[in-house]
Structure 1
Amino acid sequence: MQTVGAGSLGKERKNTLRDSVFEKLKAMIITGQIPPGGRVTEADMAERLKVSRTPVREAFNRLERDGLVIGRPRQGYIVAEFNLTMFREAFDIRELLDGRATELAAANATAADKARLREMLAECERLAAIPNRSTREKFEELQVGIDLHRVIAEISGNEMLCGMLCGILDKCQQYVWTELLWLDEWKLTREEHTGIVDAICAGDVALAGERARAHVRGSRENILRLLQAKSDYQGFFAKAS
């Protein structure tokens, strides 16, 4: 029994390290610390994060699947440039999936589910109230906001829908960060999230779905306006680093 326990603990620690490295690398890319077009290698990141190359390699594989980096044989990885076509496609799909997931969540949410959503809103408010917030603290609010949509998808009870939406959300984070940072849409985003959760808690299926779709449409229009106005994506991210 002790041997099994030790092995399980080792596996848990390995998974924790793997996930930690992945989240750190993803945050560095999304916030522009590693800018679009920037080249990174397993060795450099392993040294920077003080870990072995194995979890870094696994993290880059996941990031490549999410479309955040592009692997180059014997050259490492290149951080993906913004792609307007992928952006439009991702947000078109997200509007459909997010709207439907939110409708189902409004129909299915339990008291515990509603309390969980309220707690996430409260965490966003707590992070927003921090004076002179750092980039890390702003990124934490971004993550909680994105996770709110993941939890809503989970509450929907539709596993396939949840999986598809979570995959799309992974592809949207970098764009959402750009919107929040450059347009300072933090307060509006919190208000819209509150409106969505209010509708879910009230069991208003139609209103919940419409608010979710309007939230995605507004974000898409903001980001599209920014992307079209910026021809130099390297400079575009300088403020985020």
Structure 2
Amino acid sequence: MNALPPGARRHSAYEAIKAMIVTGHLAPGRRVTEQDLTEQLQVSRTPVREALNRLQRDGLVVERPRTGFAVVAFDETMLHEVFDLRAELDAYATRLAVDRITPADLKVLDDLLNAGDEVARTDPTRLGRLAEMELGMDLHRAIARCSGNTLLAETLDGLLIKCQVFVWMELTQMQEFETARADHRAIVGAIAAKDAARACTLSRCHIRQSRDGILGLMHMRRDLRDFYVGKG
């Protein structure tokens, strides 16, 4: 990895650390230091430091005085705040996209859908699932860009980054990949048909159902923990 140019090293370190957080390799609350990550990723401290600063801006890590950084706690409060706001902004972006979509834009969306299908068909590994999730996120980002509202697209990008830990939890532990792909196709189909009402409804339902599924999973985990603690 050290053979990469500086810009690529910075990007690679950021993506690698983010993937470790999203997939739970770096658990919520865990302390992370430049030294540990430098050794794991086999890069110098500079790209790791820049990656951690960027992840702090993304809201995935927080700085701890004299101890480095810690992964944020992805709790129910954050779940509701992020997904409820995203549901409304995503639907708004979708409505704007219906009015502004071009044939070239639709091809971008179709290409992302097809790429997700291909990954699902050919790569059942954990890395394949991560790639499929990223393609789904990229589809939402592409729809937001089609809205023509740059600030809206940037805001949604920040929310999507915060959503990734929760979405990974839902997709992998509840086996919701196929459902997510079907939802995405339905949303794009409604956009292509210029059916703004249906596209917005599908977008909101997609995000709210994801939120509710994750919330149920979090409650089940809490109940199991309380049950075993009570038995002890």
Establish whether TM, by shorter chain, passes 0.5. Answer: yes
Question: Given the alignment of the two structures, is residue 181 of structure 1 paired with residue 172 of structure 2, yes or no?
Answer: yes
Give the match for residue 86 of structure 1.
Answer: 78
Tell me how far apart the structure 1 counterparts of residues 217 and 74 of structure 2 sit (CA, whole Å).
11
Tell me how far apart the structure 2 counterparts of residues 103 and 211 of structure 1 sit (CA, whole Å).
11
Question: Given the alignment of the two structures, is residue 127 of structure 1 paired with residue 127 of structure 2, yes or no?
Answer: no
Tell me how far apart the structure 2 counterparts of residues 188 and 220 of structure 1 sit (CA, whole Å).
14
Give the match for residue 66 of structure 2.
Answer: 74
Deviations 1:60-119 (A, max 9, x none): 111122221122222222222222112101111001100010111111111010011000
* Runs of at least 5 residues in structure 1 that lack an aligned partner in the other structure: 1-11, 235-241
Deviation at 1:233, TM superposition (A): 11
2:126 partner amino acid: T
SS at match of 1:77: strand
Deviation at 1:204, TM superposition (A): 1.3
Describe how 1:95-174 pairs up with structure 2 within 5 A. 95-130=87-122, 133-174=124-165
Give the match for residue 239 of structure 1.
Answer: none
Deviations 1:169-192 (A, max 9, x none): 111111011000111000000000
Deviations 1:148-197 (A, max 9, x none): 00010001101111111111111111101100011100000000000001
1:79 partner amino acid: V
Contact preservation (8 Å) 1:36, 1:233: no
2:52 partner amino acid: F
Describe how 1:219-238 pairs up with structure 2 within 5 A. 219-231=210-222
TM-score, normalising length: structure 1: 0.88
Tell me how far apart the structure 2 counterparts of residues 113 and 158 of structure 1 sit (CA, whole Å).
15
Aligned length: 222
Tell me how far apart the structure 2 counterparts of residues 159 and 52 of structure 1 sit (CA, whole Å).
34
SS at match of 2:69: strand
- Greater relative CO (CA pairs within 8 A, separation 6+): 1
CA RMSD, Structure 1 to Structure 2 (Å):
1.8
Percent identity among equivalent residues?
Answer: 45
